[in-house]
Amino acid sequence: MPELPEVQTTVLGLKKKVLNRTFVDVWTDTKKLFKNISFPDFKKEIKGKKIKKIYRRGKNIIFDLSDGLNLLVHQKMTGHFLYDKWENDPMNSFIRVKFFLDNGKVLALSDLRKFAKIELYKTKDLKLNLGPEPLEKSFNFDKFKNVLKKGKIKQVLMNQEIIAGIGNIYSDEILWQAKVHPEKDALKLSEKELKRIYKAMKDILKKAVDLGGTSISDYRDIEGKKGKFGDIRKVYRRESQKCPRCGAIIKRKKLGGRSAHFCPSCQKP
């Protein structure tokens, strides 16, 4: 699933290509992606709307449109946007939606598993129940400590109502860098452990954005290209390999229906 770095990479690409463009038509073969509006109504509403602003909130991409509308897209597990002409890659071939623009170009949504979510709101009605953004300058260490709740630290980091944008990949990488076991209780961590997590969170998310996200599965940027953070990841999906820090064998464990990857030597319970 695209997390903060992948969604931010997409938003940066969209800003360069489709900002101030106007939707002239839309096509889909998967009407179930449209969640709070029927596709015929969506098609009617979106025509003639100009894209005034594009931003990310958590894992959501939000387009501010003319006439006081917001288009919200959550790419879910396997969705990603593609613009105009994109690389020939199998993951770019599952086109479910095409937005036709006033410059003759197409903004497409590829989604292998058809789980993406497209919604249209009046701007005043758009409400997202999300925690603070971890890369905002205002999200300092004290605020980080104050938002934490009881629970296993990996699950707390992934809770979108606590901190927005972190998922399975980056929670694993953050906790490995911080040398904290994913099952430790968030409220029982020492000040030193919390500082290491906070620093790792900032470092890793920034680096992942700089590298265009992680594409070891299906994520691609709007040109259909892979992100490069997966090339330097330390533990995520590296079970049975050696820890790059200590040489112990990386383990994988189910945690709340998700997989946690960690080093049993560096990240002691």
Query: In this structure, what token pair is assigned to residue 243?
Result: 């820890």
| pTM beyond 0.75, yes or no | yes
Strand arrangement, sheet containing 60-65: 51-57, 60-65, 69-74, 117-122
Distance of CA 50 to the CA centre of its chain: 25
Q: Residue 137 burial by CB count (10 A; 0-12/13-18/19+): exposed, middle or buried?
A: exposed
| From 21, 252, 253, 258, the catalytic residue | 258
Q: Exactly one of 56, 59, 154, 179 is catalytic; which is it? A: 59
Euclidean distance between CA atoms 189 and 164, whole angstroms = 21
Class at the top of the CATH hierarchy for domain 141-262: mainly alpha
Q: Side-chain half-sphere of 133: how many Cα atoms within 13 Å?
A: 16
DSSP-based three-state secondary structure for 266: coil
Tokens representing residue 115 in the block? 């789980």
Q: What is the pLDDT of residues 196-222, one digit of tens each?
A: 999 999 999 999 999 999 999 999 999
Say if 4-125 and 141-262 have the same CATH topology: no
119 is a catalytic site residue: no
Alpha carbon distance 199, 178 (integer Å)? 8
Query: Is 15 buried (19+), middle (13-18) or exposed (0-12) by CB count in 10 A?
Result: middle
Catalytic residue check, 59: yes
Confidence band (pLDDT; 50, 70, 90) for 38?
A: very high
Predicted confidence band of residue 101 (pLDDT cuts 50, 70, 90): very high
Spatial CB neighbours of 219, under 8 Å, sequence gap ≥ 6:
2, 6, 80, 91, 213, 226, 227
Round the average pLDDT of the chain to a whole number and report it: 98
Q: Is the pLDDT of residue 13 over 90?
A: yes
pLDDT number for residue 95: 98
The mean per-residue pLDDT over the stretch 133-150 comes to: 98
Q: Is 129 exposed, middle or buried (0-12, 13-18, 19+ CB in 10 A)?
A: exposed
Find the catalytic residue in 2, 5, 134, 182: 2
pLDDT for position 186: 98
pLDDT tens track for 152-192 = 999 999 999 999 999 999 999 999 999 999 999 999 999 99
CB-count burial class (<10 Å; 0-12, 13-18, 19+) for 4? buried
Is residue 193 among the annotated active site residues? no
Cβ-proximal residues to 262 (8 Å cutoff; 6+ apart), any chain: 172, 175, 176, 181, 182, 235, 250, 251, 253
On whether the CB atoms of residues 139 and 4 are closer than 8 A, the answer is: no
How far apart are the C-alpha atoms of 154 and 254, rounded to whole Å? 11
- Token digits for 205? 């998310």
Instruction: Give yes or no: 5 in active site.
Output: no
Is residue 1's pLDDT more than 90?
Answer: no
Amino acid residing at 88:
N
Please report which helix (H) or strand (E) contains residue 5, including its range.
Answer: helix 4-17
How far apart are alpha carbons 161 and 127 in whole angstroms? 13
Class of domain 4-125: alpha beta
Q: Using one digit for the tens of pLDDT, what is the confidence trace for 209-265?
A: 999 999 999 999 999 999 999 999 999 999 999 999 999 999 999 998 999 999 999
Q: Take residue 128 and report the two structure tokens written for it.
A: 């997202």
Q: What residues does each domain of the chain span?
A: 4-125, 141-262
Residue 129 has pLDDT above 90, yes or no: yes
